[in-house]
Structure 1
Amino acid sequence: MARTPSVPGVLTSEQCLETGAAIAAMQEPSGALPWFPGGQTDPWDHIESAMALSVTGMLAEAEKAYEWSRRTQRPDGSWPIKFVNGRVADPNTDANFCAYIAVGVWHHHLITGDRAFLDHMWPTVWAAIELVLRFQAPSGQMYWGGGHPLPHTGGQFGLADGVFESAMLTGSASIHQALGCAALIAEAVGQPAPAWRDAQMRLGHALRRHTGHFLPPSDHSMDWYYPVLGGAVRGRAGQELIAQRWDEFVVDGLGIRCVDHRPWVTGAETCELVLAMNCLGDDADACRLFADMQHLRDPDGSYWTGLVFSDGKRWPVEKSCWTSAAVVLAADALSRTSAANGIFRDADPLRDVTVSAGDVPGLSCDCTIA
């Protein structure tokens, strides 16, 4: 039986299993993993929750979730932004939501080694990534989404078809990781896709060197750490980026704020920062933050979304599936337990290639990416 992650003094393997069971208990008969029972399902958080099921050994439940993704994908490769109780509540398209299927599929394959699963999901991944590439601007950034294409467009997005021509740091950084996972899947199934890796490199360059192509960083913490989490910014540059806004977001003993000016800490964002710091090799601070957010744990193993620390009230009053999932993924990364524990650490495509010194601050070399 595979081991379950544990973080000494913070989270036992038994507690981690309880969290996995709490996620599975929220799964709808269709396989969908909603934010909470009766709540909305979005394609990105659904995948994150499926990844946590894989880590905790609930492979059948995870595969049921991926089958839901395969079944609900539209002919153009996209998914609606939001489902509620099995019905489409927002038919528009978010490029990042569509790309994340590649991260989940590769993650599950790393854990199981199941080539049949990879082959089964390959058409879904291929269609999703081909769709996502339509949102890439000539300068590398990813436009965040668009309206659902009308039948007469043949599933193609164009300016007249409602592409929202603005690029967001968080979504683009997440797509950066997804493109890397997609390229690995393509190689594993014998269908190399160099265009996907090229798109990832161009997106990474934009995230590192042309941040003006994106909307200005918002007051949300995700815009702060996601360039690190998604693999575009690492090393000294990543450490400097995290240091820049540390005091704005980190609340000692509680976790991190979701929004820089509000007295509200959230568990998922805290665990994502834990993952980002793990990517930078800063496990000491990462473990402290992971311990700090455990006040959100419920006795049933699930996690409350957040706490308004100015009045001590949980808000929103919900135990979210994706918060529990972020906890499991952070525990796996810190403990290096599952075969997929490095899914975020390995998102940096520049580790094994030579790049220009001007592309990555602090990197010294003479060659450029071809």
Structure 2
Amino acid sequence: MEAFGVPGISPTWASSSKDLVGTALGTARVWFTLGHGILNEVFWPSTGRPQIRDLGFIVAREGAWYEVKRVHSYTLSTPAPEVPLPQVVHRGEEYTLELECLVDPNRDVVLVRYRLEGEGFRLYPLLAPHLGGSGHDNTAWVEGSALYAQKGMAALALLAKPGFTRASAGFVGFSDGWQDFQRNRAMTWSFSRATGGNVALMGELLAPAGVLALGFAETPEGAHTLAASSLTEDYGAVRDRYLEGWRAWARGLKIEGASPELTRMARTSTMVLRVHEDTTYPGAVVASLSTPWGSSHDDPGGYHLVWPRDAVEAGLALLAAGQVQDARRMLAYLLATQQPDGSWPQNFYPDGRAYWQGLQLDEVALPVLLAARLEEEGGLAERAQVQRMVQKALGFIAQNGPYSPQDRWEENAGANPFTLGVQVAALVAGAAFLEEPERSYALSLADAWNARIEEWTFVENTPLDHQHGLRGHYVRIRPPGTMGLRGRVLVQNRQGEQVAAEELVGLEFFYLVRLGLRSPHDPRVRDTLRLVEALLRVDTPSGPFYHRYNHDGYGEHADGRPFDGNGVGRAWPLLSGERGHYALLAGEDPLPYLWTMARAASLGGLIPEQVWDSPPIPERGLFPGRPSGSAMPLVWAHAEYLKLFLAWQQGRPSEWLQGVAQRYQSPRPPQILHWRSDTPHRVVRPGQTLQVEATRPFTLHFGFDGWQEVQELPATAVGLGCFGVQLEPALLQGHRSLEFTRRFEEGWERRDYRVEILQEG
């Protein structure tokens, strides 16, 4: 019989409040999440493809029924922090339900061992398929001893050992099993099919103890075969293989510490990073196996996408923890997904298909830093292929930098200290992979850009500085255009609000210290730190957290409603990690920041993207210093925690590359000024060479002192796909000014430029 209520209510994903994530280290292509003590989204056949909303349980006997998720009274444990084998115990009125979840290492199957104790109680699994990455247009049915669902080329089968006594399919909100219990206080419906909608399945288990098998395949028959074969094999044997896979991997970890709690959190973080790596596409690390504010929408993207930045963060963290092979796979994946022009998409599915279409230059530079770090550790393989990747990446940076179309928060174009810093570090570290003349060009360009970071991102004597008694500060971002630091920035997620660039402050400048480009005691850094502590820090019962920037709008509304394109920016635990890295380099104690991040974690040790930073709203589950409704876990946050923990042990950050730090341990004035139309120089000092550049051939038409002594010189290839004309000090000597324009293949530039020439004395 067909269920009533087609197509059901509008589907959503599960809450982003997760307890744990897990997968098997074998050939299986399944990943599970756990939230509120039950299975949440399960991913197959890659980390970018969620296939169910959740698999929960109702416990019932005559006259009483309880959905364990809503009762929310449970404990969670694992055999070890680095082993994702969750053991959940739900306790309610006169019942106890024990659950254990794992993935069959050899099959695309999630197994759930269950045991229910309580006089007269029966157990009812509730399954909400979201096949194909959406709750729309799913079909569910009951056939024989199995529960099925299908959408297109994705199918699932839920089987039980010893079995079900009965089962039903329905439409969510109308004829699903939960509605049956809500209306009738018992399972009274037995619909055989629900076609084309937001569907759910429920079954009554034959025995109080047994094993559920949830199999995935392209066909219902395939899903049934996999689930049935898992149940045929002894659960204990499958469990032993699962445990051995993780224990073998964990033997390579180099994580020890004086604090058992902080060490446990570090080992948990390594597990979280490893779980987020794909099996179908090895080395692909998605940002999160959760969807921010998922219970309010059906967005198929979520955070189950690869961001090159987050992937490199994970690779650097695992490399520092001793997992060289993991870092190698991640670098190999990045080599494979690099675009022909040398860049990477803003984010993409694990198979490499681009999702969003933005471009962030830090995501082009960071893979170079991962390669350089592997090289320092003696763990780099296939150096020739890495050389090609580095050359293409640095070529893209040289031709398109230093201004980035997007910053690391994916919101604004311009120049910011973080993106500038990683570009400079990549040019220096990557130069070791290049041949001449490109090696010298990369180093020269790095020196030139490094020397101008303050020119581009530091302001002085602003109202904000006067208010806080400072000389000046680094801005969050310098917008493109002629106004530069005097311009205004469109604040995303704030309904079109614009703020003066000099009023926006972020933590981006910390990376200048972390990469070795600036001293932690630089007065400009210290002044900006004072501003950050005044404007962005929020103290909570968990410890000090930081906002991304003042005026941020990415977070829940003031009343706790989910972010819906607008909101109020909340505090980010990963930024406490960035503050902790600075503390370490400045000779301060980083432990308060490690403790803050650890205390923000969920029951299973997952670190969220954001924490609530306002008065508590218990009815929405929002409490100061605890996870908000944003993504949890966040790979970037776990990588940041792990890197800070290891930096505390090892004395230096994972991003600290010797070649970069040594080059800039003292101020290094550039010998060559790289003049470009988007980053012009207005003055040339005695002894400096001016190099006029473009990304295509041109002829330089120039003269001195008001267009006297007019000459022409053809541009030559200077390296990394750039062309330039070099004007040596001897040619400039004795003149007050240089005037020039350029002629390209298609004609004159139709614009004149002027550079003042300073003379000795």
**Normalised-by-shorter TM-score class:** 0.7 to 0.9
Corresponding residue for residue 355 of structure 2 = 89
Q: Would the alpha carbon gap of residues 301 and 43 (structure 1) be closer, same or farther in structure 2, given more than 3 Å must change?
A: same
Paired with 2:311 and 2:688, the residues of 1 have a C-alpha distance of 35
Asked if 2 retains the 8 angstrom alpha-carbon contact of 1:5 and 1:16, the reply is: yes
* CA deviation profile, 1:171-207 (whole Å, cap 9, x unmatched): 22232222232234448xx997121121211111111
Deviations 1:279-314 (A, max 9, x none): 3x2332x33222222212345444222211213152
Distance in 2 separating the partners of 1:338 and 1:27: 26
Q: Relative to structure 1, is the Cα distance of residues 179 and 118 closer, same or farther in structure 2, using a 3 angstrom cutoff?
A: same
Which residue does the alignment assign to 1:49?
314
- Residue 259 of structure 1: aligned partner: 549
- Residue aligned with 1:143, SS: coil
- Tell me, yes or no, if the aligned pair for 2:284 and 2:330 is still in contact at 8 Å: yes
- Counterpart CA distance in 2 for 1:118 and 1:247 is 46
Q: Which residue type is aligned with residue 236 of structure 1?
A: D
* Distance across 1 between alignment mates of 2:606 and 2:324: 19
- Work out which of the residue numbers 300, 304, 308 in structure 2 matches 1:39: 304
**What is the SS of the residue equivalent to 2:325?**
helix
- The 5-angstrom pairing of residues 191-202 of structure 1 reads 193-202=439-448
Q: Decide whether the 8 Å contact of 1:4 with 1:338 is kept in 2.
A: no
Inter-partner Cα distance in structure 1 for 2:595 and 2:432: 33
> CA separation of 1:298/1:217 partners in 2, compared to 1, >3 Å: closer, same or farther?
farther
Q: Which letter does structure 2 place at the counterpart of 1:199?
A: L
Q: How much does 1:27 deviate?
A: 0.8
> Is the Cα–Cα contact under 8 Å of residues 518 and 664 in structure 2 kept in the other structure?
no
Task: Give unpaired runs (5+ residues) of structure 2.
Answer: 1-250, 290-302, 407-411, 459-476, 480-500, 552-567, 617-622, 671-685, 690-761
| 1:236 matched residue in structure 2 | 522
Question: Residues 238-283 of structure 1: CA distance to partner in whole angstroms, max 9, x if unpaired?
Answer: 333322322222233232223335672212122122223333x233
Please give the secondary structure, in 1, of the residue aligned with 2:341.
coil
- Three-state SS of the structure 1 residue aligned to 2:594 is helix
Any runs of at least 4 consecutive aligned residues in structure 1 with deviations exceeding 6 A, and if so which? 367-370
> Tell me, what secondary structure is at the counterpart of 1:70?
helix
Conserved? CA contact 2:262–2:598, under 8 Å: no
Does residue 1:69 correspond to 2:334, yes or no?
yes
CA distance in 2, matches of 1:171, 1:96: 5
| 2:359–2:405 CA contact under 8 A, matched in 1 | yes
Q: TM-score, normalised on structure 2?
A: 0.40
Matches within 5 A, 1:189-338: 193-211=439-457, 214-215=478-479, 216=501, 219=504, 221-234=506-519, 235-237=521-523, 238-252=525-539, 253-260=543-550, 264-279=570-585, 281-284=586-589, 286-310=590-614, 311=616, 312=623, 314-315=627-628, 316-336=630-650
- More RCO (CA 8 Å, sep 6+): 1
**CA separation of 1:52/1:296 partners in 2, compared to 1, >3 Å: closer, same or farther?**
same
2:286 is paired with a residue whose SS is coil
Q: Does 1:28 align with 2:314?
A: no
AA in 1 matched with 2:636: W
Alignment pair present for 1:143 and 2:403: yes
Q: CA deviation at 1:41?
A: 1.3
Q: Measure the CA separation in 1 of the matches of 2:651 and 2:517.
A: 24
- Partner of 2:571, secondary structure, is strand
Deviates more, 1:115-124 or 1:311-320: 115-124
1:89, distance to aligned residue in structure 2 (A) = 0.7
Q: Which has the higher strand share?
A: 2
Q: Give, as a single letter, the amino acid of the residue that structure 1 aligns with 2:641.
A: V
Deviations 1:117-163 (A, max 9, x none): 54442211111011111123xxxxx11038xxxxxxxxxxxxxxxxx
- Report which stretch shifted further, 317-326 or 215-224: 215-224
- Give the AA of the match of 1:214: R
Do the aligned partners of 2:580 and 2:594 also contact (CA within 8 Å) in 1?
yes
Q: Provide the C-alpha distance between the structure 2 equivalents of 1:17 and 1:73, rounded to a whole number of angstroms.
A: 31
Number of the residue aligned with 2:90: none
Q: CA RMSD in A?
A: 3.4
SS in 2 for 1:255: strand
Q: Distance in 1 between matches of 2:420 and 2:528?
A: 17
Cα shift at 1:14: 4.7
Residue 415 (structure 2) aligned to one of 167, 190, 196: 167
Change (3 A) 1:199 1:8: farther
- Most deviating of 23-32 and 343-352: 343-352
Counterpart CA distance in 2 for 1:205 and 1:177 is: 13
Q: Which residue does the alignment assign to 2:397? A: 132
Give the superposition deviation at 1:71.
0.5
**Aligned sequence identity (%):** 14
Indicate the SS of the match to 2:405.
strand
Offset, 1:209 = 3.4
Q: Higher mean Cα deviation, 233-242 or 326-335?
A: 233-242
Distance of aligned partners of 1:12 and 1:245 in 2 relative to their CA distance in 1, 3 Å threshold: closer
Tell me the CA shift for residue 85 of structure 1.
4.4
Q: Normalization by structure 1: what TM-score?
A: 0.77
From the superposition, tell whether residues 174 and 341 of structure 1 become closer, same or farther in structure 2 (CA, over 3 Å): closer
Give, in whole Å, the separation in 2 of the partners of 1:291 and 1:107: 27
